[in-house]
Structure 1
Amino acid sequence: MYVARDKDGTLCVFFNKPVKSDIWEIWQSRIDYPRDYFKLDSSLFPEVKWEDEEPTEVELVKKEKV
């Protein structure tokens, strides 16, 4: 999975590696599936910036109940 921030500050997580569109000022999926991404709270991942050349790869981990 990948996290990327659009120029307007919108933060999204993508299931597949997105590409940066300087024309539209967004990161977009290369996959034609309608929901290859979900918006996240924009306060998360403050280190992820629009200026980044590549999306940030992340791993979703399920915690076991203790």
Structure 2
Amino acid sequence: MIDLWDDLCHQGSVYDDSFLALPYLAAISTGRAPGAPAEAVLMAGLVVSAADDPSSPSVTTAPSPRPVTT
């Protein structure tokens, strides 16, 4: 789950995509999906609280991937 945490809230910043993971974290926390329920609840709370905390780094948009050119 540590790799997942790095993707969801890297160095205190949350990204637009971090919020897309919330339904999956909810499924893990309720036992409807495999994983560590306590860690899923913690991650979801940290994602949401980082977005609401004015002293934390702001919510940022991840850089868009470069278009593939052929």
| TM bin (shorter chain) | under 0.3
| Structure showing the higher strand proportion among its residues | 1
Question: Which structure would you say has the larger Rg?
Answer: 2
Question: Structure 1 length normalisation: TM-score?
Answer: 0.27
Question: Structure 2 length normalisation: TM-score?
Answer: 0.27
| Structure showing the higher helix proportion among its residues | 2
